[in-house]
A and B are shown apart, each in its own frame.
Chain A
Amino acid sequence: MKSSPKTFLAALLLPALALAEDDSAAVSLTDMRHQHLWIAYAIIWGLVFVFVARTAMRQAQTQRELDQLASRLDALEKPHG
């Protein structure tokens, strides 16, 4: 019997699917609930941290550039002191 590409693909994927099924069965529902709870809170504070850090860095850089530009503007506007 000649196998179609779909059957061939399914035959290839079956062992991987079976392994994935084994893995998911191994992790009990209780473990999964605990894992997801910790991951969720890690994501929450990770995202907030990245946001705060990026804001602070950009703010500091902008302030630096503003200070530099202000002194150069002063020099341009008052060339003779």
Chain B
Amino acid sequence: MNHALRPMLLSATLALLVGVAHYLVFAYAPVEVTMGVVQKIFYFHVSSAYVCYLGFLLCFIGSLGYLFTRKGRWDAFALAAAETGLLFGLIVLTTGPLWARPVWGLWWVWEPRLTSLALLFLMFGAYFVLQNFGGAGEGIRRMAAALAVFATPNIYFVHVAVERWGGIHPQIKEKTGGGLTPEMRSVFFFAIATVLTLFIVLLVQRYRMHLHLRLLSASRRRFSRLGGES
């Protein structure tokens, strides 16, 4: 396929997916009886949480790959995954309080799910800061990779927080589909597919960008070695 045509086709497909997802959320999915229209935040809030976990998990894999092989590609992949995960984490942490305020009467509650997610976000925030502002040394990259490896198991604690420690955050019961009508469930699955596609596209773009940045640094070093003046 033509190289110029591919991104356009991809963008058009993504726009179509997002458009259909919004139609389904706002026009097809019924309004939840207790929470009212604000419950429609749920579709993208929860989908974003899932891909946020996925981003951090991929960062873990990339970091392990980097620690074992010391190849820059793994590090670039880990950083791209963490950044994309952080984007969706930020979406979860901003849409959550907007949903909570009319339902709970509070913007934020220090309960297990929310607190553990905030901590997970901060850990990967530290990883991001270290990678982007810690300098270009290999030691920094190794330290960042180790931080990601230690931070990732916290996903498990975020996921089981409601079951293990209670709290007021709602929990989707996967087996019974608790609280969701069949229409809501199908819209939810479509929203997950849309957000996942968006996540993959953003991850690939970000990964390419980091590869190019590394290539640029290597070219600069080569240029300096050859005696060129910048």
- Could you tell me which A residues sit within 8 Å of B by CB distance? 29-30, 32-34, 36-37, 39-41, 43-44, 47-48, 51-52, 55-56, 58-59, 62-63, 65-66, 69-70, 72-73, 76-77
A2–chain B nearest beta-carbon distance, Å: 37
- Could you tell me which B residues sit within 8 Å of A by CB distance? 22, 35-38, 40-41, 44-45, 48, 87, 90-91, 94-95, 98-99, 101-102, 198, 202, 205-206, 208-209, 212-213, 215-216, 219-220, 222-223, 226-228
Classify the interface of chain B: helix, strand, loop or mixed.
helix
Partner of A33, one of B87, B102, B206, B228: B102
A17–chain B nearest beta-carbon distance, Å: 17
Q: How far is the CA of A41 from the CA of B37 in the complex (A)?
A: 13
Most buried by B among A32, A40, A62, A69: A40
B98–chain A nearest beta-carbon distance, Å: 4
Contact: B41 with A66, CB < 8 Å? no
Contact: B223 with A59, CB < 8 Å? no
Nearest first, the 3 closest Cβ-Cβ pairs linking A and B are A33-B38, A40-B95, A36-B98
In the assembled complex, which residues on chain A have CB atoms less than 8 Å from the CB atom of B209?
55, 58-59, 62
Contact: A44 with B91, CB < 8 Å? yes
Partner of A37, one of B37, B205, B216: B37
Knowing A55-B209, A62-B216 touch, does A40 contact B223 (C-beta < 8 A)? Answer: no
In the assembled complex, which residues on chain B have CB atoms less than 8 Å from the CB atom of A72?
223, 228
Given contacts A36-B99, A44-B48, A55-B202, 10 further A-B contacts (CB under 8 A): A29-B36, A36-B41, A36-B102, A40-B99, A52-B202, A52-B205, A56-B205, A72-B223, A72-B228, A73-B219
Q: How far is the CA of A51 from the CA of B51 in the complex (A)?
A: 15
**Chain A minimum-CB-distance residue to B215:** A66
In the assembled complex, which residues on chain B have CB atoms less than 8 Å from the CB atom of A44?
44, 48, 91, 95
Classify the interface of chain A: helix, strand, loop or mixed.
helix
B229–chain A nearest beta-carbon distance, Å: 9
Q: How far is the CA of A43 from the CA of B202 in the complex (A)?
A: 17
Contact: A76 with B44, CB < 8 Å? no
Q: How far is the CA of A56 from the CA of B202 in the complex (A)?
A: 10
In the assembled complex, which residues on chain A have CB atoms less than 8 Å from the CB atom of B37?
30, 33-34, 37
**Chain B minimum-CB-distance residue to A58:** B209
In the assembled complex, which residues on chain B have CB atoms less than 8 Å from the CB atom of A58?
209, 213
Q: How far is the CA of A32 from the CA of B37 in the complex (A)?
A: 10
Q: How far is the CA of A73 from the CA of B212 in the complex (A)?
A: 17
Instruction: Provide a sorted-by-A list of 15 A–B residue pairs whose CB atoms are within 8 angstroms.
Output: A32-B38, A37-B38, A40-B41, A40-B45, A40-B94, A43-B91, A43-B95, A44-B91, A55-B205, A59-B205, A66-B215, A73-B219, A73-B222, A73-B223, A76-B226
In the assembled complex, which residues on chain B have CB atoms less than 8 Å from the CB atom of A41?
22, 41, 44
